[in-house]
Structure 1
């Protein structure tokens, strides 16, 4: 095993983060390609929300890979674990959420509040991740940030999952119990109009941890298997490309489903939910297993230093690819397009503008968003992450022995 694997760090999986974030980006803007491609292609691209599933399986794997083997649930262990999770997730989310609501109070852009009447209360729900439990509020603030509520639920649950698995040898029953809890909550609260709290099955199954827990458990089980059996194997199966193909088979299945309003994708149909929540994550796990145990061109590409950097900044990219930052960048290109045609009119020529095509502008925006993400990662996220980890927040900082990662 390489030195970097000994440090619980796998560069190719960092590259996977970039791939996942870009898939989500494509899914949100697939409509821009509808005029240039057959409608089925637009539907196929619209199901690239699978990047979220990739994130969930990856979270389950990495948290287990880093903490499961030496897990012991003590107060200091939990505080250190929680400190690491806060350092990784919260600073940029908090800063960008504050910025989003600041943007709202300046512009009154209803996309931030989704028409909700009390922006102060909504800000509280967003900054605490609680908005993710309410159908009425899940896509407010940083709309795509709903997935962080799901992630945080897993982070808080992981020590208990480990404890039950190791001490009581009850692993496979846990996702069943959690899913049954979700169903029970919907049966109770769907008749109570409390801002959509556990309001309907589609919302709970797709946008809460209780519906999507199986994806995390698949990642957890992959890590448990790797920790037990190592990274070498004898089976002559190419898991990397097999898993990759199966991922997009799942995408195609969802693309064939009818779109049920007000939902935007086939994901929200019963077959879509089953495919996304239970089959897709298995394909993702096979793909990850290949990345971990095989040497392929795909793996070499994912661990290139530049791709690794994009992977490290992909969390910020995910948070900014929709919302006020995207809106400002897109508005900038619209102004450039108007200015270009104004110059053409002045010159008396009938030329095309490099900013007149939506699909081309989307590529420009994609490049700018990556530049913004890398800059924010280097200047803010990475320094804050290191500062919190080395502070006495929650638990007094103790330098780790050289060669051991947090």
Structure 2
């Protein structure tokens, strides 16, 4: 049975669709996956020769590192699909391209510049010009040089992909809107096949240089994971899935079933070799989880994912993602050196690390991201025939708590 969305038709560009608070909550789950991958690593990328784990039992440390190794890759893929979905959901015909680009730039750059500056001040001052300058402008992932892609606040590599998505979205949304409803599923399958195609092509990317611990060559790792153009398949898949939900064509598959399939895909990622573990095993379940959560909101069944706590966590998720290097890879060794602890104490310290990271994220969100978005994101004149309620307008413009493409 398909779900008929309780939305306002886009034939009236002045009106907005229903809000989807559960997708804001899901954003934090994706950011948490990245945190778990980073916080359980055995070695610190900033100090590769130093021990990094909290756990004195090497068996426990390795088991956690192995289990969460794929979590970061999957979390980033989740963000990319979600970005395409919510941007399409919140878009309206006739929206000014310059206004869209301004809001996206205001969403990304202030947080990025603050964390970039802190990283340069604390540990990255020796970064060469050819690395820190592209990093500052978020074009560094277009380079296949390891010291450039992983420079300064290195999770910012994913923002290069987001900027490419934002740059192309005004063109893509026109094309996606032209797809007939009867062909939406075909195009969704084509995008998923594109993700598989990137994995297959990766094996034929030339290059011999390897980094320790990588299954792929440096060029292969870069092409399949960090290079922005191949990640467009995930973004466009999210756009098409939004169209499917808007058209009422999404079958009534609940979140529990979708989450179970996601867990199976995650297990597949643990077993699969790179690059198949990056996003291929979970790309379909990720789309299912997003559509199931959106459909639940439309039916008024969002529950805990759309609750106040999860929405707040979703609001700070972008900042939570960007401060991880500062807290985990710089701050933690500064305070605790390379000391290890028993399993119970180590787990407690991981919880403390999470709390500190969340506090830092809240500060960045409260002092930088939120004020900037409230002050400058509404520039330009709108001429709505029938203004939408304030809550809907706020959320679709990316200043408060319901997603409007504000992913990392």
Shorter-chain TM-score: what band? 0.7 to 0.9
Partner of 2:364: 376
Contact 2:142 2:228 in 1 (8 A): no
Partner of 2:24: 14
Contact 1:329 1:365 in 2 (8 A): no
Cα distance change on mapping 1:60 and 1:364 into 2, 3 Å? same
CA shift for structure 1 position 163: 2.5
Which residue, 319, 326, 335 being the options, matches 1:316? 319
TM-score (norm 2): 0.73
Partner of 1:57: 81
Which residue, 239, 248, 252 being the options, matches 2:263? 248
Considering only aligned residues, what root-mean-square deviation do their CA atoms show, in Å? 4.0
Cα distance change on mapping 1:250 and 1:41 into 2, 3 Å? farther
Partner of 1:99: 118
Higher mean alpha-carbon deviation, 24-33 vs 294-303, is at 294-303
Partner of 1:344: none
Partner of 2:47: none
Partner of 2:68: 45
The 5 Å alignment of 1:98-247 reads 98-104=117-123, 108=125, 113=127, 118=128, 120-136=129-145, 137-167=148-178, 172=187, 200-229=219-248, 237-238=253-254, 240-247=255-262
State whether structure 2 residue 311 is matched by structure 1 residue 292.
no
Rounded to whole Å, the distance in 1 between the matches of 2:205 and 2:352 is: 47
For residues 270-294 of structure 1, give each alpha carbon's deviation from its aligned partner in whole angstroms, at most 9, with x where no partner exists: 4324xx1x44121111111211223
Give the structure, 1 or 2, with the largest relative contact order (CA under 8 Å, sep 6 or more).
2
Which residue, 302, 305, 314 being the options, matches 2:305? 302
Contact 2:22 2:305 in 1 (8 A): yes
Partner of 1:343: none
Unmatched 5+ residue regions in structure 2?
1-5, 9-14, 43-52, 209-216, 398-408
Cα distance change on mapping 1:26 and 1:325 into 2, 3 Å? closer
Contact 2:207 2:218 in 1 (8 A): yes
Contact 1:189 1:199 in 2 (8 A): no
The count of corresponding residues between Structure 1 and Structure 2 is 349
More helix by share: 1
Contact 1:40 1:255 in 2 (8 A): no
Larger radius of gyration: 1
Unmatched 5+ residue regions in structure 1?
192-197, 258-265, 339-351
Contact 1:183 1:201 in 2 (8 A): no
TM-score (norm 1): 0.73
